[in-house]
Amino acid sequence: MTSAQVLFYTFSFFLVASSLIMIFAKNAAKAVLFLVLAFFSVAGLWILLEAEFLAITLILVYVGAVMVLFLFVIKMLNIDKSTLRARFAGYLPLGLIVAAIIIAEMTMVLGHEQFGLNIYPAPENASADYSNITVLALQLYTDYVYPFELAAVLLLIAIIAAIALVHRPEQNRKKQDISEQVSVSAKDRVRIVSIAKENKEVKK
Amino acid sequence: MISLSDYLILSSIIFCIGLVGIFINRKNIITLLMCVELILAAVNTNFIAFSHFLGNEAGQIFVFFILTVAAAEVAIGLAILTLMFRNRGSIDIDITSSLKG
């Protein structure tokens, strides 16, 4: 076995194992952590496929931002004890049957006869000065610049939508009203009270 | 060497694991979202494997956009989830049937 094969089967094992643990986990936080492990394995596979930029993006964006967002929501909603226990275990056999059929069909379609090394030979390893980011950027800023800007607009819409959804209207908020502050006069604020003078001397 | 079909079969296995996760975790929307993420990772692996073996970078560009859309989807999905929890006090799927659809 070459070192690439050792890496491939190691990453594949961790990917499949952590995915299985994730879908059967009773605790949602545990599921998120095993999904993080699955994403790390996927990133390793992508580096084997010489897609370094996307692998690092997967770790930075997915593990660093999206999974942490999941953890935040799980901890905020406090669902660990309420709804997670009840699960539709009755659908497990049906799901397993469907999955087994799909995997069997896919293995027949995607086998070595159709997609093996003699049909699609492995490409040469990239040279040491090959830059995946440069190659991607050259395409992204020329041929795909319009979808790239659309993606930016999509992210902006997602920000606005997320804030608009969970933003609470103001209630009991201490807020300044400038015109009211300016138009106030001294009579409204200060009251001069005249107090009768007391004649008693303070004893020493 | 690792062939293209190894990557394709691996990602179809991951796809099916995500599918089974959707089957058995139907009560819990957060786990459903995580299973969708798993399915997207499988699809992205397919794209990158084909991009590598065919020598065409367009597949990696496509994965870039899929990652963008998935991040936006998760942000909005979790916002909706928070809103639902705030209004109903639970994220059980059974109680979201108030539209009787």
Query: What are the phi and psi torsion angles at B28 (to 5°)?
Result: -120, 110
Taking the C-alpha atoms of residue A191 and residue A123, their distance in angstroms, rounded to an integer, is 89
Q: Which domain holds residue B53?
A: 26-93
Supply the pTM of this predicted model.
Answer: 0.83
Closest-CA distance, A20 to chain B, in angstroms, reads 7
Chain A residues within an 8 Å CB radius of B19: 95, 98-99, 102
In a domain, A87, yes or no: no
Q: CATH number of the domain at B77, please.
A: 1.10.287.3510
| Cross-chain CB nearest to B1 (options A24, A39, A122) | A122
Q: Which of A109, A120, A131 has the highest number of chain B CBs within 10 A, making it the mutation to test binding with B?
A: A120
- Say if residue A115 is in the same domain as residue A135: no
- Say if residue A3 is in the same domain as residue A66: yes
- Say if residue A119 is in the same domain as residue A131: no
- Say if residue A107 is in the same domain as residue A69: no
pLDDT tens-digit series, residues B66-93 = 999 999 999 999 999 888 888 877 777 7
Task: Give the model's confidence band at A89: pLDDT under 50 very low, under 70 low, under 90 confident, else very high.
Answer: low
| Cross-chain CB nearest to B38 (options A19, A122, A158) | A19
In a domain, A47, yes or no: yes
Closest CA to B63 of B75, B49, B84: B49
Closest-CA distance, B64 to chain A, in angstroms, reads 7
CB atoms within 10 A of CB A119: 13
Question: What residues have CB less than 8 Å from A67, skipping those under 6 apart?
Answer: A32, A35, A36, A39
Q: Any CB–CB contact under 8 A between A154 and chain B?
A: yes
Q: Which of A3, A7, A106 has the highest number of chain B CBs within 10 A, making it the mutation to test binding with B?
A: A106
pLDDT in the model for residue A48: 92
Q: Which A positions 52-91 lie with beta carbon below 8 A of chain B? A: 53-54, 57-58, 61-62, 65-66, 69-70, 73-74, 76-77, 79, 82-84, 86-89, 91
In a domain, A186, yes or no: no
pLDDT in the model for residue A86: 54
Task: Give the model's confidence band at A34: pLDDT under 50 very low, under 70 low, under 90 confident, else very high.
Answer: very high
pLDDT in the model for residue A174: 81
Task: Give the model's confidence band at A196: pLDDT under 50 very low, under 70 low, under 90 confident, else very high.
Answer: confident
Closest-CA distance, B88 to chain A, in angstroms, reads 12
DSSP class of residue A124 equals P
Residue A97, token pair as written in the block = 């049957």
Q: What is the mean pLDDT of residues A167-192?
A: 83
Question: What residues have CB less than 8 Å from B29, skipping those under 6 apart?
Answer: B77, B81, B91, B93
Domain count, chain B: 1
Q: What is the mean pLDDT of residues A139-144?
A: 93
Would you say how long chain B is, in residues?
A: 101
In a domain, B82, yes or no: yes
| Cross-chain CB nearest to A165 (options B33, B54, B80) | B80
pLDDT tens-digit series, residues A147-163 = 999 999 999 999 999 99
